[in-house]
Amino acid sequence: GEDVEQSLFLSVREGDSSVINCTYTDSSSTYLYWYKQEPGAGLQLLTYIFSNMDMKQDQRLTVLLNKKDKHLSLRIADTQTGDSAIYFCARLIGNYGQNFVFGPGTRLSVLP
Amino acid sequence: DTGVSQNPRHKITKRGQNVTFRCDPISEHNRLYWYRQTLGQGPEFLTYFQNEAQLEKSRLLSDRFSAERPKGSFSTLEIQRTEQGDSAMYLCASSLAGPEQYFGPGTRLTVT
């Protein structure tokens, strides 16, 4: 996962917006993803974006993709304590375009 | 449908023993993936099946590791002669032909 980078920690206050950032080095991916992982659990698919799009919105989640800068972000509006988790950025690669390279994850802490 | 299931959820074994994990994908998902996640890291791809065919293997999958999907439904991952470095969470995911991959809760392996 060394070609997908994320900051490791983010703290926000409940009700504020959170912005989690991700950069990657290889622009050949077809899709880019955000997954959420709560302690001791598997990964929950939050959203994904096709590489020819620059924005996708899904309820409280907004994904922005800047292909030129190879930068992906996830904005969570009105962040709640239940949003506290680790958020992984991932890009789809592989000979069959089917496996992920994940970033190291950003641990989001939501303070009351 | 209950999602991807994995058994056991936890496994503690002594170094040198063999272990086997099972993954049951979402029904009718023809694609199945194994990933390994160590503490504080993002998941790393191990192998990919389309139906019963193992189409892709990471160089992380040493010759002590073998994965099967004999009937194109459930899959097993076996680790022979376990080492302490094999301690990790082993995650399974499944998908149809589209871009959405769904992860199971994982099997946490501890090698003592």
- Which amino acid would we find at residue B53? A
Region A26-43: mean pLDDT is 88
Cβ of A105 within 8 Å of Cβ of B41? The answer is yes
Rounded Cα distance, B103 and B32, in Å: 10
In angstroms, what separates the C-alpha of A13 from chain B's closest C-alpha? 24
Of A31, A92, A102, which has the smallest distance from its Cβ to B42's Cβ? A102
Minimum Cα–Cα distance from B54: chain A residue: A96
Residue A73 Cα, gap to closest chain B Cα (Å): 17
Q: Which residue has the higher pLDDT, A30 or B56?
A: B56
Under the banding of pLDDT at 50, 70 and 90, the label for residue A2 is: low
pLDDT of A76 reads 98
CA dihedral (B58, B64, B65, B68) positive or negative: positive
Determine which of A38-42, A45-49, B22-26, B29-33 has the lowest per-residue pLDDT on average. Answer: A38-42
Report, as an integer, the average pLDDT of B86-99: 92
Average pLDDT, chain A: 91
Position A1 scores a pLDDT of 44
Position A63 pLDDT exceeds 70: yes
Taking 80 as the threshold, does the pLDDT of residue A62 lie above it? yes
Mean pLDDT, range A46-72, rounded to an integer: 93
A61: Cβ contacts below 8 Å, ≥ 6 apart: A34, A46, A47, A74, A75, A76, A77
Q: Is the pLDDT of residue A52 over 90?
A: no
CA atoms within 13 A on the CB side of B109: 29
Task: Return the number of CB contacts < 8 Å for A and B.
Answer: 64
What is the share, in percent, of chain B residues with pLDDT greater than 90?
Answer: 82
What digits encode the pLDDT tens for the residues A85-105?
999 999 988 656 678 899 999
Kindly state the average pLDDT of the residues A32-40. Answer: 93
Give the residue, A1 or A109, on which the prediction is more confident.
Answer: A109
Long-range Cβ pairs for the range A55-64 (8 Å, 24+): A61/A34, A63/A32, A63/A34
State yes or no: pLDDT of B73 exceeds 60.
Answer: yes
Considering only alpha carbons, which residue of chain B is nearest residue A32?
B99
pLDDT of residue B42: 92
